[in-house]
Amino acid sequence: MALPKYTEPHYRIWHYFYLFVCGCVFFFLIAPLFVIFPLSFNAEEFLVFTDGMMRLDPDAFSTRWYKDMVYGTKNPWGLAAKNSFIIAIFATIGSIILGTLAALGLSSRHMPYKGLIMAILISPMIVPLIISGVAIFFFMAKAGLAATHLGIILAHIILGTPFVVITVTATLSGFDHSITRAASSLGSNPFNTFMKITLPLILPGVISGGLFAFVTSFDEVVVVLFLAGLDNTTIPVQMWTGLREQLSPTILAVATCLIVLSILILLTAELLRRRSERLRGINR
Amino acid sequence: MSSETQKILTTDGIPLEESLKQAEKKNKIKAFLLVTPLLLFLIITYIIPIADMFSRSIDDKMVTNMLPKTYKAMEQWDGKELPPEEVFEAFYLDYKILVENKTAGRLQTQLNYEKNGFKSVLKKLARKQKKFEEGNYKEQIIKVHKRWRNVDYWRAIKRRAPAYTYSKYLKGVDMYSNEEGKIVQVSENRRIHRILWSRTLEVAFFVTLFCFLMAYPIAHLLATLPMKYSNLLMICVLLPFWTSLLVRTASWMILLQQQGLVNDFFVWIGLVTDDNRPEMMYNKTGTYVAMTQILLPFMVLPLYSVMKTISPSLMRAGKSLGATPGVAFFKIYFPLTIPGIGAGCLLVFILAIGYYITPALVGGASGTLISNQIAYHMKSTLDWSFASAMGLMLLTGVLVIYWIYNKLVGVDNIKLG
Three-state SS for chain A is CCCCCCCCHHHHHHHHHHHHHHHHHHHHHHHHHHHHHHHHCECCCCCCCCHHHHCCCHHHECCHHHHHHHHCCCCCHHHHHHHHHHHHHHHHHHHHHHHHHHHHHHCCCCCCCHHHHHHHHHHHHHCCHHHHHHHHHHHHHHHCCCCCHHHHHHHHHHHHHHHHHHHHHHHHHCCCCHHHHHHHHCCCCHHHHHHHHHHHHHHHHHHHHHHHHHHHHHHCCHHHHHHCCCCCCCHHHHHHHHHHHCCCHHHHHHHHHHHHHHHHHHHHHHHHHHHHHHHCCCCC
B310 touches chain A (CB under 8 A): no
Q: Are residues A141 and A260 in the same domain?
A: yes
pLDDT over 70, % of chain A: 95
Measure the CA–CA gap between B125 and A44, rounded to whole angstroms: 65
Length of chain A: 284
User: Is A247 a member of any domain?
Assistant: yes
Count of domains for chain A: 2
pLDDT of residue A159: 95
Whether B132 has a pLDDT exceeding 90, the answer reads: no
Query: Are B42 and A244 in contact (CB < 8 Å)?
Result: no
Which of A32, A128, A258 lies closest to B371 in CB terms? Answer: A128
A47 and A168 inside one domain: no
How long is chain B?
417
Domain termination site, one of A65, A90, A109: A65
Domain limits at A35? Answer: 9-65
Residue A3 lies in a domain: no
pLDDT score at B368:
82
pLDDT at B46 (0 to 100) = 94
Q: Do A17 and A155 share a domain, yes or no?
A: no
A35 chain-B contacts, CB cut-off 8 A: 251, 254-255, 261
CATH 1.10.3720.10 fits B194-413, yes or no: yes
What CA–CA distance (Å, rounded) separates A204 from A196?
Answer: 15
Chain B CA closest to residue A103: B35
Contacts of A99 in chain B (CB under 8 A): 38
Q: For residue A245, give the amino acid letter.
A: E
Residues 6+ apart with CB under 8 A from B52: A135, A138, A139
A254 and A125 share one domain: yes
Chain B residues within 8 A of A221 when measuring between CB atoms: 245-246, 357
Residue A192 in any domain: the answer is: yes
Q: Is residue A203 part of a domain?
A: yes
Res. A284 pLDDT band, cuts 50 70 90: very low
User: What is the least distance, in Å, from the CA of B73 to any CA of chain A?
Assistant: 35
Q: Taking CB atoms and an 8 Å limit, are B34 and A101 in contact across chains?
A: yes
Q: Are residues A103 and A46 in the same domain?
A: no
Give me the pLDDT at residue A94, please: 96
> What is the tens place of the pLDDT at every residue in B234-278?
888 888 888 889 999 999 988 888 888 888 888 888 888 777 788
Q: Are residues A254 and A147 in the same domain?
A: yes
CB spacing of B42 vs A158 below 8 angstroms: yes
Please name the member of B53, B253, B394 whose beta carbon is closest to the beta carbon of A138: B53
Give the pLDDT of residue B411.
Answer: 59
B200-217 pLDDT, tens digit each: 999 999 999 999 999 999
Least confident of A10-14, A24-28, B243-247: A10-14
Is A130 within 8 Å of B354 when comparing Cβ atoms?
yes
Record: contact B249-A243, CB cut-off 8 A: yes
To the nearest whole angstrom, how far is the Cα of A29 from the nearest Cα of chain B?
Answer: 6
Taking an 8 Å cut-off on Cβ atoms, the answer to whether A110 and B28 are in contact is yes
ipTM: 0.85
Phi, psi at B175, each rounded to 5° = -130, 165
* CB-CB under 8 Å, B394 with A130: yes
Asked whether residue A244 falls in the same domain as residue A184, the answer is yes
Judgement on whether residues A131 and A201 belong to the same structural domain of the protein: yes
Q: Are residues A36 and A118 in the same domain?
A: no
Closest Cα in chain B, distance from residue A201 (Å): 19
Confirm whether pTM is higher than 0.90: no
Would residue A92 count as lying in a domain? yes
Q: Is residue A47 part of a domain?
A: yes
User: For residue A171, is it within any domain?
Assistant: yes
CB contact under 8 Å between B217 and A124, yes or no, is no
* Among chain B residues, CA nearest to A259: B243
pLDDT tens-digit readout, A37-67? 888 887 777 777 777 777 777 777 777 778 8
Q: What confidence tens digit (pLDDT) does each residue in B314-362 have? A: 888 988 898 888 888 898 899 989 888 988 899 899 899 988 888 888 8
Burial of B324 (0-12, 13-18, 19+ CB in 10 A): exposed
- Nearest-Cα distance to chain B for A249, in Å, is 11
A1 found inside a domain: no
Report the CATH number at residue A119.
1.10.3720.10
Is A60 found in the same domain as A85?
no
Q: What is the pLDDT of residues A183-229, one digit of tens each?
A: 989 998 888 998 888 888 888 889 889 989 999 999 999 999 999 88
d(CA A119, CA A105): 14
Q: Determine, for residues A32 and B293 on separate chains, whether the beta-carbon distance falls below 8 Å.
A: yes
Of B217, B239, B350, the CB nearest to A263: B239
